[in-house]
């Protein structure tokens, strides 16, 4: 899969106002600050396409980026940002959940987790919710550049082992670093593969 063009189309709080046309969508979700927007920039090779910040809570809307005039990468707000008000968190939860459950164009969700940390309750519960609702997803470990190769391997293995306590099968798993452009080909190939199965 080669990226020939990548353009920002629109930001929305309502999935119903997202672009028409039925083009397939690949969306990125995960805790605030995990690196969703950075990953979109890394995959598209366009610095500054999606807005990033060192402070959590940057992305607050559903952002559509049209790729090769054919399909969308979708940047979603993060969940679990404790310093937002209860109402603010509820509102974001609604935006995210409605998009994920109702958006027919969504073909795959990439769930990002920071590879430095042990499995977090909030992510495990989110995956269970995806499973209950039969939402196809894959797991993307982020920030791989922040730890050494030995810890990286053991963290990924420990995470998979934890998931296998409650899941019969693992979803596809990717290890990435937006900083080092690691995992780009793998994710793009996977997106290409899903699209060829849609035809
Ligand atoms: P919200 O929009 O707030 O939910 O956050 P986000 O998940 O979109 O995170 P964002 O891409 O804005 O990145 C958060 C911070 O992590 C920024 O300071 C990024 O530079 C940093 N970051 C993201 N990915 C990587 C990575 O692979 N390696 C390193 N070292 N830093 C990263
Ligand atoms: Mg963001």
Atom 20 in ligand 1: which residue has the minimum CA distance?
54
pLDDT tens figures, 138-189: 999 999 999 999 999 999 999 999 999 999 999 999 999 999 999 999 999 9
Q: Is 180's C-beta closer than 6 angstroms to any atom of ligand 1?
A: no
| Total domains, the chain | 1
pLDDT tens figures, 78-114: 998 877 788 888 889 999 999 999 999 999 999 999 9
What CATH number is associated with residue 165? 3.40.50.300
In a domain, 97, yes or no: yes
3-state SS class at 182: strand
pLDDT of the residue at 85: 83
Mean pLDDT of 8-26: 94
Task: Tell which atom from ligand 1 comes closest to the C-alpha of 177.
Answer: 27
In a domain, 1, yes or no: no
In a domain, 130, yes or no: yes
Task: Tell which atom from ligand 1 comes closest to the C-alpha of 40.
Answer: 11
pLDDT of the residue at 81: 80
Q: Is 182's C-beta closer than 6 angstroms to any atom of ligand 1?
A: no
State how far the Cα of 120 lies from the Cα of 62, in Å rounded to an integer: 24
Strand partners for 67: 6, 71
State how far the Cα of 199 lies from the Cα of 195, in Å rounded to an integer: 7
In a domain, 191, yes or no: yes
From ligand 2's centre to the CA of 154, what distance in Å?
Answer: 27
Report yes or no: 139 and 108 within 8 Å, Cβ to Cβ: no
Q: What percent of the chain has pLDDT over 70?
A: 100
In a domain, 34, yes or no: yes
Report yes or no: 146 and 116 within 8 Å, Cβ to Cβ: yes
Strand ranges, E, within the chain: 6-12, 25-30, 62-67, 71-75, 106-114, 137-142, 173-175
Q: Is 146's C-beta closer than 6 angstroms to any atom of ligand 1?
A: yes
Domain hosting 164: range is 6-198
């Amino acid at each position: 899969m080669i990226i020939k063009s990548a353009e920002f189309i629109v930001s929305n709080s309502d999935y119903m106002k997202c672009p028409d046309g039925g083009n397939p969508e690949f969306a990125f979700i995960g805790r605030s600050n995990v690196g969703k927007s950075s990953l979109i920039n890394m995959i598209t090779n366009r610095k500054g396409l999606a807005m990033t910040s060192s402070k959590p809570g940057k992305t607050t809307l559903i952002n559509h980026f049209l790729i090769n005039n054919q399909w969308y990468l979708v940047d979603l707000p993060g969940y679990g940002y404790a310093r937002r008000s209860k109402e603010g968190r509820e509102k974001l939860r609604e935006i995210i959940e409605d998009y994920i459950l109702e958006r027919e164009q969504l073909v795959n969700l990439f769930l990002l987790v920071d590879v430095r940390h042990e499995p977090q309750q909030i992510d495990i519960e989110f995956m269970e919710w995806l499973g209950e609702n039969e939402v196809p997803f894959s797991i993307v470990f982020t920030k791989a550049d922040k730890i050494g190769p030995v810890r990286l391997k053991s963290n990924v293995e420990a995470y998979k082992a934890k998931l296998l306590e409650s899941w019969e099968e693992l979803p596809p798993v990717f290890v990435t670093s937006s900083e080092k452009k690691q995992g780009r080909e793998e994710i793009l190939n996977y997106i290409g593969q899903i699209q060829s199965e849609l035809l």
